[in-house]
Amino acid sequence: MSASSGCGCQETASSPSQDQVNRFPWEEFGLLGVAIAWFGVGLVLSVRGRLPLWGEWLWFIPAYLWVGWGVLTTAGRRLLKGKALDENFLMTIATLGAIAIGELPEALAVMLFYRLGEAIQDLAVDRSRDSIRALLEIRPDLANLKTAEGLEPVSPESVAVGAEILVKPGERVPLDGEVLSGESYLDTSALTGESVPRSVKPGEGVLAGSINQNGALTVRVTRPFGESSLVRILELVQQARQQKAPTEKFISRFARRYTPIVVALALAIALIPPLLGGSLTQWGYRALVLLVISCPCSLVVSIPLGYFGGIGGAAKQGILLKGSVFLDRLTDVSTVVFDKTGTLTEGSFEVTQVEANPPWDEEMLLHYSAIAESQSTHPIAQSISRAWTGPLDSNLLQTVQEYPGRGLRATLTNSKVCDIAIGNERLFQELGQELGLAPLSTSQGSGTRVRVAFDGQDAGTLEVADRLREDAPQAIQDLRDQGIQRIILLTGDNKTVAQAVGDRLGLDEVYSELLPEDKAKLLERWLREPRGPGAVIFVGDGINDAPALALADVGVAMGGGGGGLGSDAAIETADVVLMEDSPAKLVQAIAISHRTRTIVWQNIILAFAIKLLVIILGTLGLAGLWEAVIADVGVALVAVANATRAAKG
């Protein structure tokens, strides 16, 4: 029985190694079983009068030292460091006090059941980490690298970007990449929480950690293993344990102040009544009962475990939280602010209309617009490039200057057009004097209108349409049902399109034609408003959303990214990452946060209620050390078992 196993409940809550997590502590429980049997035999002999006083000392004290050595030495080390007042100190004083008044069987019983409770708590904590272990288990060991000599099994860490790998049916995808050949269905449930397999074909992205179900895929690697979706998920989950929720911090501070108060009360109970004529032995025994029942293990272990379970349960559903502090904040949300494109809408744009002004025709307008947009990663730009189905000579592109949230300007060589400006009306307001163009007509269609100028002349417009995400209307209604008071839309799109989306979803406020800095300014304004305890959430998916994500009380990033992991800037900045591009995941995250907080407060109330009851009974002489230790261990185990429910998501 190692000393470390008796180090106390705060160490119990720490993260064990993977080897520790995966093995059952047979040795620990075996030794405790022997100790319990030894105690039982000694108790029977003592009750029957077969053990004289010196026999009790010879029988119980060696067992007490064997079982409690870890607790005793830990209390001694902490005493020398000036940090004595913890649960090890409480158990040490209580049991030594019992020995001092001749209650040897009870001293051993207190230490034995305390150690048994600690061991069972350790096991419960380890078992509660199944969701995190499940993520660790999806880490692939090998990648089938295509070489000139054929397939070579290699470590995923050694595969370079651009290399080609073969993913056979039944294998896990080892790295993020793009399908070059083959079609199949991928099980992405461990990553996104989505149980329905996702169909993939050439040109589509795949995520490391997903399972190839039925067809061989040739994949070109797009990210090194260290930057893959899988590794970043694991890093996010591990980092989540570093940021504590306010309730966790409160309990840690409370425990540091609580123990000295308990010791002072125990001293008062032991000394004051005897000064007034009471029995020193009787009141000393009652003080020992107070010390035993006051051990704060059930709180110190179960509350962090509850939050950790909530984070793990959310991870199983494809919701990554970067700390329990954000899980806690999600329970007090008053305002949800959505970006539009790629968040409430699919972000899968299509060019629905081309209007060219003479002397240019529609084919020429679309062709040169596609060349200009060919290097941009913006969804609208990519839709314009896709709309041109002919040969695309991007070598004509000489320089590109992007204007975030507005459009771009490009110069071409060896073509009929030298200078191209393409974007929304805000871009042309900025370039108006230089280009000498009149304002665009305010008449709008159902989509986003993109204006194009060739060599300073108005060449025409492209209309690009987007679709609402299928689950967006129900997600907005579910947020209302969760008590969200205010739901707002922010977008760089034009007013007509933005208002149409807002009306369809029944949003409270719609702000359109915004630059990234405009979104950030609005967030700052709302955060300064008197709003009580309610938090402001911002939900976005792109690099343009990073400033707003950073400012919000809780920044939520759509991380699916159509097969990747969304915008790197958005993922790094956000506090919560939704692995599936679905507004319904936000509803699920808020529900998990409420469930976790409920479980945490159930544990707090249960622990304090039982402890207070036994303290009162012990002070009145109606409960002894036996009842105290059973109540303490029992409350701790019930609280831990309750906390593990949070991991179910």
Can you tell me the distance from the alpha carbon of 442 to that of 334, in angstroms, rounded to the nearest whole number?
A: 35
pLDDT class for 349, splitting at 50, 70, 90? Answer: confident
Can you tell me the distance from the alpha carbon of 481 to that of 542, in angstroms, rounded to the nearest whole number?
A: 28
pLDDT at 543 over 70: no
Whole-prediction pTM: 0.65
Average pLDDT estimate for 180-198: 74
Average pLDDT estimate for 322-347: 85
In which order are the strands placed within the sheet that holds 198-200? 198-200, 184-187, 211-212
Smallest Cα–Cα separation from 156: which of 144, 146, 171, 148? 144
pLDDT tens profile 616-637: 888 888 887 777 777 877 787 7
pLDDT tens profile 435-463: 767 665 544 555 678 899 988 888 899 98
Instruction: Please indicate whether residue 510 or residue 569 has the higher confidence score (pLDDT).
Output: 510
Which pLDDT score, from 0 to 100, does residue 567 have?
A: 54
Residue 649 · residue 609 · CB < 8 Å:
no
pLDDT at 470 over 90: no
Q: Cβ of 36: how many Cβ atoms within 10 Å?
A: 16
Q: Cβ of 219: how many Cβ atoms within 10 Å?
A: 27
pLDDT tens profile 52-65: 777 778 888 888 88
Q: What are phi and psi of 212, to 5 degrees?
A: -80, 120
Average pLDDT estimate for 366-370: 91
pLDDT tens profile 602-614: 988 888 888 888 8
Which pLDDT score, from 0 to 100, does residue 321 have?
A: 83
Smallest Cα–Cα separation from 146: which of 219, 228, 253? 219
Which pLDDT score, from 0 to 100, does residue 218 have?
A: 93
Which pLDDT score, from 0 to 100, does residue 126 have?
A: 61
pLDDT tens profile 417-433: 788 999 888 888 888 76
Dihedral sign, CA of 215, 216, 218, 222?
A: positive
Of 15-29, 294-308, 334-348, 491-505, the poorest mean pLDDT is in 15-29
Beta bridge partners of 198: 186
Smallest Cα–Cα separation from 417: which of 366, 353, 354? 366
pLDDT tens profile 17-52: 344 444 556 677 778 778 878 878 887 777 677 777
Which pLDDT score, from 0 to 100, does residue 251 have?
A: 61
Instruction: Please indicate whether residue 517 or residue 478 has the higher confidence score (pLDDT).
Output: 478
Three-point CA angle 397, 399, 400, nearest 5°: 100
pLDDT class for 139, splitting at 50, 70, 90? Answer: low
In which order are the strands placed within the sheet that holds 407-412? 350-356, 457-465, 448-454, 419-423, 407-412, 397-403
Instruction: Please indicate whether residue 231 or residue 272 has the higher confidence score (pLDDT).
Output: 272
pLDDT class for 284, splitting at 50, 70, 90? Answer: confident
Instruction: Please indicate whether residue 142 or residue 29 has the higher confidence score (pLDDT).
Output: 142
pLDDT class for 560, splitting at 50, 70, 90? Answer: low
| DSSP assignments along 364-414, one per residue | HHHHHHHHHHTT--SHHHHHHHHH--S---GGGEEEEEEETTTEEEEEESS
Of 175-184, 343-352, 504-513, the poorest mean pLDDT is in 343-352
Highest mean pLDDT among 62-66, 362-366, 389-393, 570-574: 362-366
Structure tokens at 298: 């059930």
Three-point CA angle 491, 496, 498, nearest 5°: 25
Instruction: Please indicate whether residue 11 or residue 443 has the higher confidence score (pLDDT).
Output: 443
Residue 307 · residue 600 · CB < 8 Å:
yes
pLDDT class for 297, splitting at 50, 70, 90? Answer: low
The DSSP letter of residue 160 is P
Average pLDDT estimate for 379-402: 85
Q: What are phi and psi of 441, to 5 degrees?
A: -60, 145
pLDDT class for 649, splitting at 50, 70, 90? Answer: low
Which pLDDT score, from 0 to 100, does residue 5 have?
A: 36
Can you tell me the distance from the alpha carbon of 63 to that of 546, in angstroms, rounded to the nearest whole number?
A: 61
pLDDT at 221 over 80: yes
Smallest Cα–Cα separation from 637: which of 595, 596, 607, 600? 607
- Half-sphere exposure (Cβ direction) of 393: Cα atoms closer than 13 Å: 7
pLDDT class for 469, splitting at 50, 70, 90? Answer: confident
Q: Which residue has the tokens 């007042």?
A: 85
Instruction: Please indicate whether residue 530 or residue 555 has the higher confidence score (pLDDT).
Output: 555
Alpha helices in 418-551 (DSSP H): 425-435, 472-481, 495-505, 516-528, 546-551
Structure tokens at 111: 């230490």
Helix axes 297-316, 584-619, angle to 10 degrees: 170
pLDDT at 314 over 60: yes
Three-point CA angle 162, 168, 173, nearest 5°: 55
Can you tell me the distance from the alpha carbon of 520 to that of 564, in angstroms, rounded to the nearest whole number?
A: 26
CA-CA-CA-CA dihedral for 36, 39, 44, 48, to nearest 10: -170
Of 367-376, 463-472, 595-604, the poorest mean pLDDT is in 463-472
Alpha-carbon distances of 151 from 220, 350, 389, 508, rounded to whole Å: 14, 39, 35, 57
pLDDT at 532 over 80: no
Average pLDDT estimate for 82-101: 74
Which pLDDT score, from 0 to 100, does residue 301 have?
A: 66
Which pLDDT score, from 0 to 100, does residue 19 have?
A: 40
Which pLDDT score, from 0 to 100, does residue 233 have?
A: 63
Which pLDDT score, from 0 to 100, does residue 445 have?
A: 55
pLDDT at 564 over 60: no
Smallest Cα–Cα separation from 177: which of 152, 155, 202? 202
Q: How high is the mean pLDDT of the chain?
A: 78
Can you tell me the distance from the alpha carbon of 183 to that of 12, in angstroms, rounded to the nearest whole number?
A: 48
Can you tell me the distance from the alpha carbon of 361 to that of 462, in angstroms, rounded to the nearest whole number?
A: 12
The DSSP letter of residue 173 is P
- Active-site residues, by number, are 339
Q: What are phi and psi of 529, to 5 degrees?
A: -65, 145
pLDDT at 588 over 90: yes
| DSSP assignments along 548-602, one per residue | HHHHSSEEEEE--GGGS-S-HHHHHH-SEEESSS-THHHHHHHHHHHHHHHHHHH
Q: Note the Cα 373 to chain centre separation in Å.
A: 36
The DSSP letter of residue 175 is S
pLDDT at 300 over 80: no
pLDDT at 272 over 70: yes
Which pLDDT score, from 0 to 100, does residue 122 have?
A: 66
| DSSP assignments along 80-145, one per residue | HTT---SHHHHHHHHHHHHHHTT-HHHHHHHHHHHHHHHHHHHHHHHHTTHHHHHHHHT----EEE
Bond preceding residue 359 cis, omega within 30 of 0: yes
Which pLDDT score, from 0 to 100, does residue 20 have?
A: 40
Structure tokens at 168: 């056979």
Residue 460 · residue 357 · CB < 8 Å:
yes
Instruction: Please indicate whether residue 119 or residue 615 has the higher confidence score (pLDDT).
Output: 615
